[in-house]
Amino acid sequence: MSHSVTVSGQDGAFPGAPDRSVLESALRANRWLPHACSQGTCGTCKIRVLCGEVDHGRPDETILSEAERASGLTLACQATPRTDLTVAPLNDVPPDGPRHPLRDHAGTVLELADIARCTRRLVVELDEPMEFSAGQYAELIVPGSVVARQYSMANPPSESRRLEFHIKRVDGGLATEGWIFGSLRPGDRIGLRGPLGQFALVRPQEEPAILVGGGTGLAPLKSIVRHALSNDLVPSIDLYHGGRGQADLYDVDFFRALEAADPRFRYHPVLSEEQWDGATGVVTDAVLDDFASCKGRSAYLCGPPAMVTAAVKALKRRRMAPRLIFKEEFTVGSAPPVMSPV
């Protein structure tokens, strides 16, 4: 039996299944609640329960403390309704842009190829299109388990049935070593759900954009680049991609060709541990070398937390407005993307 869930300040209620998180029920009803990782590791989806009771699940004490639970707070991605609910998000400003309902999907693996060190490209043809915004992610369901892992779409939203993912191998990872780098083959059927996340560029903007990615943090940035240029959303884009060595870079020919074809786009690969004929050092230092001032520009950052933190500090030193800096952090394991304005 489902319960009624009302979000304070939003019209109407939606059904909240007792075996689904409040967040999942909201997104399936195309209702907005702030979220990022969807796995209980970032705290972005904290909500206040104004009326009713929830099962909090097993939240990490460092993310949602016992005192916070006692005060009426819960994680929307972990909590399930026990009764009818009225809740209020702590962040009540919805994202600027279209919202797409969360849906279950199935598809066939078209391509599975090694593209860089410990990195594979996975291309899936869906049975039905998935509407999403450039920069969002989907959850791939590991066969024979209830485990889901989060990977950003690298293709633009115009390719709504053919999804491209860039996947880094994780030692001992159930989804990577045990499946994507193990038993998965072209022609296999897979299940997934999406879209998820708030990291996206969807509206035309006056500010030139600086995109900084580390490793497979390139995936959502590739989607943003293709979508933004095709729809004339930004005056120009500078894309920085960092890796330890040349073996970590991929899609170099694609971005070189795009740079040659479109004067609005510039591509900057950077290596931190190998000398070559391109830029070397920390990728964020390369941005500082190229821009004496970042005032009047925007930034989209995606990669390991240390890289994202360094990029935020660097851009602020170059006078970029914090409201124009958006970040998505990839971590090992359950790998939740985390995006928020700085």
- Fold (CATH) for 209-341: Rossmann fold (3.40.50)
pLDDT of residue 94: 61
User: What is the average pLDDT across 79-89?
Assistant: 93
User: What is the average pLDDT across 148-167?
Assistant: 97
* CATH class given for the domain over 103-196: mainly beta
Q: How many whole angstroms separate alpha carbon 241 and alpha carbon 286? A: 10
pLDDT of residue 93: 61
- The structural domains of the chain, with segments of one domain joined by +, span 3-89, 103-196, 209-341
Of the candidates 97, 80, 83, the one whose C-alpha atom is nearest the C-alpha of residue 25 is 80
Tokens of 74: 């819960």
Where does the pLDDT of residue 339 fall: very low under 50, low under 70, confident under 90, or very high at 90 and above? very low
The model's pLDDT over 130-148, given as tens digits with 9 standing for 90+, comes to 999 999 999 999 998 888 9
The pLDDT of residue 207 is above 50: yes
Of all helices (H) and strands (E), which one includes residue 214? strand 209-214
Higher pLDDT, 92 or 301: 301
Peptide bond into 336 cis (omega under 30): no
The pLDDT of residue 6 is above 80: yes
User: What is the average pLDDT across 1-15?
Assistant: 89
- Which CATH number is correct for 3-89, 3.10.20.30, 3.20.20.70, 3.30.590.10, 3.30.160.40? 3.10.20.30
Find out whether 34 and 9 touch, Cβ atoms under 8 Å: no
Tokens of 59: 């939240």
Residues 6+ apart with CB under 8 A from 159: none
Of the candidates 204, 231, 230, 225, the one whose C-alpha atom is nearest the C-alpha of residue 213 is 225
pLDDT of residue 43: 84
Tokens of 260: 């040659």
User: What is the average pLDDT across 280-299?
Assistant: 95
The end-to-end CA distance of the chain, in Å, is: 40
Tokens of 336: 């939740």
Where does the pLDDT of residue 97 fall: very low under 50, low under 70, confident under 90, or very high at 90 and above? low
